[in-house]
Amino acid sequence: MNDSASSRVADTTGSYSSGENKQVLSLLLDKLLENEHQILVQKTEMGGIEAYVGSVTLEWFASRVGFASGLPLLQQNYNSQTGNIEIDADTIDEILQRPLDWSRQLPLAQYLVARKNHKFPPVLVVINQDWVDNPKAKEWDKKGRAKNSTCDFTPLDSDGKVGLLNISEDNVTIYALDGQHRLMGVQGLMQLLKAKELQRYKKDKSPDDTFITVTELMEQYQISRASLQKLPLEKIGIEFICAVATGETREEARRRVRSVFVHVNLMAAPLTKGQLAQLNEDDGFSIVARKIAITHPLFEQQEDRKPRVNWNSATVAAKSTVLTTLQALKEMSERYLGQKYPHWKPLDKGLIPMRPDNDELNQGIQEFHELFDYLAKLPSYKMLEDEDTPVMRKFSFEKDGGEGNMLFRPVGQVAFAQALGILVFKKGFSLEDIFEKLQKFDSNGGFSNMEYPQSLWYGILYDPTKKRIQIAGKDLATKLLIYILGGTEDQMERAILRKSLADARTLESKTISFEGRFVEPKKVGLPAIL
């Protein structure tokens, strides 16, 4: 800054142009922020709780902030190894946070390294000072109430809304109240950059003897060393609240802090799987599912018919006129196209998938579209031209009766898609040959009347005891579809499949044959191959 601007710092009320005012303000801020123990914040207040909002570097966040369970208030049963409180009769009322899941550290750190457009939401932290746990400290009055707040805030404006927060390491400790796993992930990132490798942990922080290295990540995700060096200087939003506010007793402060933690977690309802499928722009399977739901004639919105896709819920009600759900379409996409594009799935559970390139994504959309072109020609779906979906979905014993058709149930649709994905992409079958066989199978009622012993899906997708669909039979239904379409040649696989089929049709030690009679399990054979 030039000398002319510096000489005017003392007289900020003078008449300057906007450019000159900016120079003066910049100089003032530079001077104020030279102190590394102060952070520029904006003061907020909500529900009677004062807070201070700013930003810090990831490096600062990792080194200066601890886990909430480390608050001196909870030291009695604090486990420094896991970062959790050991719950017992004495500490159950003191717990501030859910147990930390250390298996998430490596995926979160990997996400920060691998994703160019990574983003963590702001964190909520508590500022504590040494005197809080000293009842004889001068900061407490004779009635045990705090004379001062643990937040040392110096306002810079006349309204006291913008100012500097003192975060000196001499007397201030900071703990993450909301953002425990974000802190864990950032600490993992710093460890990865420093040691060039990061240990993978189980939930309780016991090591599982595997690592990721910086070299592996750079090769896998084409990351430059320069971009890695910038990561510690990236900034994350941070909101500070006081461990103790002026006028509070220690117990009142503890209850307030705990209450804030509970509230921020209760208000942050996670997205449903259906909502994730609607919004996800990274997951290739979700993108394909949305495209098909909007554009394929079987599902697209038409003026003369009711919607055929439930966009939010994971289930289809008995009286609903929808054919499927967006969540089911996403799972169908994953189980069908996942046989050809397994790399669309993240390598580690908990990671956000990498969006496929446009050419591959368009190819996947085309292949999924083709599957539904064939599916729409099956007799069961051709019925939609004259019948509504509840008639095809309901079981015969339900009000007004129905076909009990597995292709009108999400679980059946998913099993169907997975079986065909394996046949087409793993075993080299053609959709044309598959659907030629399925046309005859469907015409003979192969997908209908699940509630009758004559059905292949009895005891598998239909639970005769509870008289309802059962999700647990999805994988067995997939294997049976592969078998009847000629995709199971190994004799051992066939023997295992036959036993699984007999077990599924065994109720209270009684095995039901396809003719509806009680028989020995070994009397239940596999159906004919189409």
270 CB burial (10 A radius; 0-12, 13-18, 19+): exposed
Alpha carbon distance 121, 384 (integer Å): 46
1 and 97 assigned to the same domain? no
Question: How would you classify residue 445: left for phi > 0, otherwise alpha for psi between -120 and 50, otherwise beta?
Answer: left
Residue 297: inside a domain: no
Q: For residue 70, name the pLDDT band (cuts at 50, 70, 90).
A: confident
Q: Would the pLDDT of 232 be above 70?
A: yes
Weakest mean pLDDT among 76-80, 117-121, 369-373: 76-80
- Please indicate whether residue 251 or residue 419 has the higher confidence score (pLDDT): 419
Same domain, 60 and 14: no
Please report the pLDDT score of residue 375 as a whole number: 95
Residue 142 domain flag = yes
Pairwise pLDDT comparison (256 vs 242), residue with the higher score:
242
* Band of residue 17 on the pLDDT scale cut at 50, 70, 90: low
pLDDT of residue 18: 65
Pair (24, 113) in one structural domain: no
pLDDT digits (tens, 9 = 90+) for 302-361: 888 888 998 887 788 878 889 999 999 999 999 999 999 999 987 766 667 778 888 999
How many angstroms from the chain centroid is the CA of residue 307? 28
Q: Which of 163-167, 244-248, 315-319, 419-423 has the highest mean pLDDT?
A: 419-423
What is the model's pLDDT at position 236? Answer: 96
Q: 312-332: b or e for each residue (b if 16 or more CB lie within 10 Å)?
A: eeeebeeebebbbbbbbbbbb
Top mean-pLDDT range of 7-16, 153-162, 478-487, 518-527:
478-487
The 10s digit of each residue's pLDDT in 471-517 is: 999 999 999 999 999 999 999 999 999 999 999 999 888 999 999 89
pLDDT at position 165 over 90: yes
Task: For residue 469, name the pLDDT band (cuts at 50, 70, 90).
Answer: very high
Boundary of a domain, candidates 225, 249, 267: 267
164-178, 340-354, 366-380: which has the minimum mean pLDDT? Answer: 340-354
Q: Are residues 122 and 148 in the same domain?
A: yes
Query: What's the rounded mean pLDDT across residues 219-227?
Result: 88
* AA letter at 375: L
Which tokens is 270 given?
Answer: 């996670």
- Averaged pLDDT, 179-195: 94
In angstroms, the CA 364 to CA 287 distance is 10
Does 483 fall in a domain? Answer: no
- Residue linked to tokens 């039979």: 473
Question: At 91, is the pLDDT very low, low, confident or very high (cuts 50, 70, 90)?
Answer: very low
Residue 181: phi, psi to the nearest 5?
-80, -25
Same domain, 182 and 225: yes
Q: How confident is the model at residue 14 (pLDDT cuts 50, 70, 90)?
A: low
At 390, the pLDDT band (50, 70, 90 cuts) reads confident
Last residue of a domain, one of 235, 267, 299: 267
Are 78 and 220 in a shared domain?
A: yes
Average pLDDT over residues 405-426: 96
Confirm whether 459 is domain-assigned. no
pLDDT of residue 267: 63
Phi then psi dihedrals of residue 451, to 5 deg: -80, -5
450-473 average pLDDT score: 93
Task: Identify the band that residue 135 occupies on the pLDDT scale cut at 50, 70 and 90.
Answer: confident
Residue spans of beta strands (DSSP E) within 60-160: 65-67, 78-79, 84-85, 123-129, 153-155
Residues 135 and 193 in one domain: yes
Clarify whether residues 24 and 118 are in a common domain.
Answer: no
pLDDT value at 156 more than 70 = yes
pLDDT at residue 48, rounded to an integer: 82
- Please write the tens of the pLDDT for every residue from 27-62: 877 777 777 788 999 999 988 888 999 999 999 999
46 Cβ neighbours under 8 A, 6+ residues apart: none
Give the pairing of strands 84-85 and 78-79: antiparallel
Same domain, residue pair 254 and 137: yes
> pLDDT tens digit string along 203-215?
888 988 888 899 9
For the chain, the average pLDDT equals 86
Range of the domain at 54: 46-267
My answer on whether 91 and 6 are in the same domain is no
User: Is residue 339 a part of any domain in this protein?
Assistant: no
In a domain, 182, yes or no: yes
Decide which of 208, 237, 267 is a domain's last residue: 267
Are both 143 and 94 inside the same structural domain? yes
496 within a domain of the structure (yes/no): no
326 domain residue, yes or no: no
CB atoms < 10 A from the CB of 475, how many? Answer: 12
Residue 186 clears pLDDT 90, i.e. is over it: yes
% of the chain at pLDDT higher than 70: 89
Q: What kind and span of H or E run contains 185?
A: helix 180-195
Between the CA of residue 22 and those of 16, 19, 41, 56, 248, what are the distances in Å? Answer: 10, 5, 19, 23, 41
Q: Are residues 157 and 56 in the same domain?
A: yes
Domains of the chain: total = 2
DSSP string, 39-79: EEEEEEEETTEEEEEEEEEHHHHHHHEEEGGGSGGGGGGEE
